Amino acid sequence: MPLFSNLKKVFHKSAVDTKRQQTIHHIRKNANPKDLWQIVGELGDGAFGKVYKAQHKEKQILAAAKICELEDEEDLSDFTIEIDILSELGRKCITLIEFAQMEPPHHEMLPMRVLLKIQKSEPPKLNQPEKWSRSFNEFIASCLVKDPQQRPTASRLLEHSFINRVLDSKSIRDLLLEYKAEVVEETLEDAEDALDDVSEGGLSGSHSSRNSSISALGTVKLEGVQNNSDSPSIARKEPHVLMRVKAIHKSSVSLDRLSLDFDSSSESGSLRRREKRRAPAPPIPVSQVDSKMPTNPAEIKSRKPDSDEGKLYDNHVLRKQELRELKVLQAQEHKEFRDLALRAQLARDQLERKFEHDKATLTRQYDIELENTIRAQEMQVERAEQQLETDLRLQSRRIRAVQEVELKQFMEGLKHEMKQMKQDVDHMSKDKRKEAMKTRKDNMEKDQVDREKAFLGKLNDKHEKAMKTINEKHREKIANIKKQFLQKKQQLLRSREAAISELEEKHIHDKHQLATQEDKDTFHLHKQHMLVRHKKEIGQVKRMNVRREEKLLKALEIEKRQLPKRIRAERDARETMYLESRRISGGNILNSEQEKEHLKRFQEQENKRYKAEQERWRSKQLRQSEDTRQVSEAAVKELESAQNEKRRLLMEHEMQKLKQQEEEYNRELSEWRALLKSRKQRLEDEFAKQLAEHEKFYGMSLRSNTPAAQTVELRVPDRPSSGSSGSSALSLQSDSLIP
């Protein structure tokens, strides 16, 4: 019974599942039952504690009340299950069968076997339906219809003849009179004869038993019984009943241990067990009886023999004890499963926290390394810029120094040409010298100016080209540096993504291992509980078999002690009848020797008959013992078969659960890998885009990298000129980076 409920609770629950709020219509909250009900007594022990007798303050109706403490909403489901069971019509019918037969159906079986039998077998019926009325049998059959759709409703059952008819209260009054009667009777006789008398039928009411017993009349007070149904109430009366009770007196048994037998017509001769109860207060006056009979109340106690041979068992008490043991075991199982679920939830939370912490630590580590890389890149670029400024300044100065020398040589050549022209003019005649000097000087000055401009432009172009070459090399160097750092940065991002993906894969694997271990622990706990429960069930069945065998042995022992006495009495009676018949038929014809011979033959026949009867009884005893042993073995085998089937089902469920867990892990891993592939592809696309933008930016920069010019005066040596005042200054182009 607890196995399937635990399987349903343990293997279908999850820590992330939301609990659905159940709507229970027959439970009222924010209400105090003590405002309407009053506890007037205690009835006994129930499934969830004491059962009290409660009375409604306004309607004065009686009810059975249970006081239960709810710790959380999960405990409410256990109580609602019992409420549903008590509200079922079949429960009422089972109670009627228990009223009729003193025991519920299948009371000799274990609860697990009863559950299987309810599913596979037909609804229970009365063992002897002919002893009960037709309406009672029909009412039980109507309540215990297996199909709920065909089962009649409560309103229809209230119209049934068994419920709707008016009952005679005489039988109930008689039972109450018998229950409330105060009787005292004591018989002093030998223990063996007393036990034989009890087994043969108790108090038969014959003249012999009347002579060997002391009768007493007790007073009975019939209290009013209030019923919640519509049946007529029983008036308060004070009738008187004559009860006969035989008490066995032994040296070790005192007068307060009396065995009561109110059923004088019982065929089995079993003793009715009753617990100790005190007689109500002062006896009521006796009427319509012999006033000479004693009316003093006596204390009645059940007999508890000290020897093992006289063990008497109360099946109801034993069954309640077994059910109590199973409930204690079930409560322990629930506690262990709750502890296991809490430990599993704690392990899952710790795993999630560890994953988040490791991921944050890994991300922070790579972020720090990435920041260091960016900082190193900026420092290296800054140093490269500073180095560029220094190189440009030095290179510009070196080039200008060389160009100044070249310009000085060029200017010296122009001066030499002017001198040569003057020498040539001096060799001419005086009348032509002045005119030729002027003409040739003007032409030469124009030519020198053009040549000087061309030479200066050439020098500037050369300087500008050298500066541009240096700038291009610098830009290429900066581009390479930034590209290297970009690739390093991308490699760091790839490493971070790979580390995160590895961490995620490890986390998925750890979750799978944790869930698998949780399932294994749960099934292991189920197996342990199943073994304990199976051992307890086997022990209960074996104890029940032992009780059955002891009961049989006791009955056989009683029958064995009764057999010689019964056969002797029967033999004496037959011998007396034989002698009487011989006397009537003409016993005077034969002499005494012949009579003795006939009597001897008759006695021999009776002895043979006695031995045959004993042999028949021995074979019957062996047959009953063998049947009992076979029934016990069959019960144990049936229980072991059911337990093996449960173990097989549990193993199959475990394999199915582990297989399902493995499939879930593979599916989750496949989905994660698909997402990881797309995530890596997006990252690589982003890296390629960054590289393309880098190449595009620095490619255009290198093509359009023409540095701005700055005018630097280069002093040109003086040359003779009629139109100039002396020295002149020409300009050269320089890179703008030169201060």
Q: Which residues carry a binding-site annotation for ATP? A: 66
What b/e readout covers 252-262, taking b as 16+ CB neighbours within 10 angstroms?
A: ebeeebbbbbb
Cβ(266)–Cβ(198) under 8 Å? no
For 118-143, what is the mean pLDDT? 84
Residue 715 has pLDDT above 50, yes or no: no
Torsions phi, psi for 590 (to 5 deg): -85, 150
Torsions phi, psi for 65 (to 5 deg): -115, 140
Cβ(406)–Cβ(459) under 8 Å? yes
Task: Give the tens place of pLDDT for each residue, 530-562.
Answer: 898 888 888 888 888 888 888 888 888 888 888
Residue 188 has pLDDT above 70, yes or no: no
Torsions phi, psi for 212 (to 5 deg): -95, 10
**What is the C-alpha to C-alpha distance for residues 90 and 110, in angstroms, rounded to an integer?**
20
**How many C-beta atoms surround the C-beta of residue 708 within 10 A?**
7
Helix, strand, coil tally for the chain in percent (to 5): 65, 5, 30
Q: What is the per-residue pLDDT for 91? A: 65
When mean pLDDT is compared over 15-24, 415-424, 505-514, 552-561, the highest value belongs to 505-514
Task: Give the tens place of pLDDT for each residue, 620-632.
Answer: 888 888 998 898 8
DSSP annotation of 34 reads G
Of the pLDDT bands very low, low, confident and very high (cuts 50, 70, 90), residue 598 is confident
Residue 505 has pLDDT above 50, yes or no: yes
Q: What is the per-residue pLDDT for 736? A: 36
Give the DSSP letter string of 546-615. Answer: HHHHHHHHHHHHHHHHHHHHHHHHHHHHHHHHHHHHHHHHHTTTS-HHHHHHHHHHHHHHHHHHHHHHHH
For the chain, the structural domain boundaries read: 2-13+32-166, 167-312, 333-735
Residue 133 has pLDDT above 50, yes or no: yes
CA dihedral 292, 298, 304, 310 (to 10 degrees): 10
What b/e readout covers 22-48, taking b as 16+ CB neighbours within 10 angstroms?
A: eeeeeeeeeeeeeeebeeeeeeeeeee
Q: What is the per-residue pLDDT for 734? A: 39
Q: What is the per-residue pLDDT for 78? A: 66
Cβ(33)–Cβ(65) under 8 Å? yes
**What is the C-alpha to C-alpha distance for residues 465 and 473, in angstroms, rounded to an integer?**
12
DSSP annotation of 160 reads S
Indicate the average pLDDT of the chain: 72
Residue with the bigger pLDDT between 445 and 588: it is 445
In the chain, what percentage of residues exceed pLDDT 70?
Answer: 68
Residue with the bigger pLDDT between 194 and 72: it is 72
Block residue for tokens 């020409």: 730
Beta bridge partners of 63: 54
Q: Give, in words, the CATH class of 2-13+32-166.
A: mainly alpha
Block residue for tokens 């003249």: 207
Residue 637 has pLDDT above 50, yes or no: yes
Q: Which residues carry a binding-site annotation? A: 66
**What is the C-alpha to C-alpha distance for residues 738 and 390, in angstroms, rounded to an integer?**
9
**What is the C-alpha to C-alpha distance for residues 688 and 709, in angstroms, rounded to an integer?**
37
Q: What is the per-residue pLDDT for 616? A: 87
**What is the C-alpha to C-alpha distance for residues 739 and 661, in angstroms, rounded to an integer?**
76
Torsions phi, psi for 144 (to 5 deg): -100, 40
Q: What is the per-residue pLDDT for 324? A: 84
Task: Give the tens place of pLDDT for each residue, 648-681.
Answer: 999 999 999 999 999 999 999 999 999 998 988 9
> One-letter amino acid identity for 328?
V
Burial of 537 (0-12, 13-18, 19+ CB in 10 A): buried
Torsions phi, psi for 360 (to 5 deg): -65, -40
Cα–Cα nearest to 122, from 139, 102, 140: 140
Half-sphere exposure of 424 (CA within 13 A, CB side): 12
For 689-711, what is the mean pLDDT? 63
Residue 395 has pLDDT above 50, yes or no: yes
Q: In 237-301, which ranges are E strands?
A: 240-241
Q: What is the per-residue pLDDT for 667? A: 92
Residue 314 has pLDDT above 70, yes or no: no
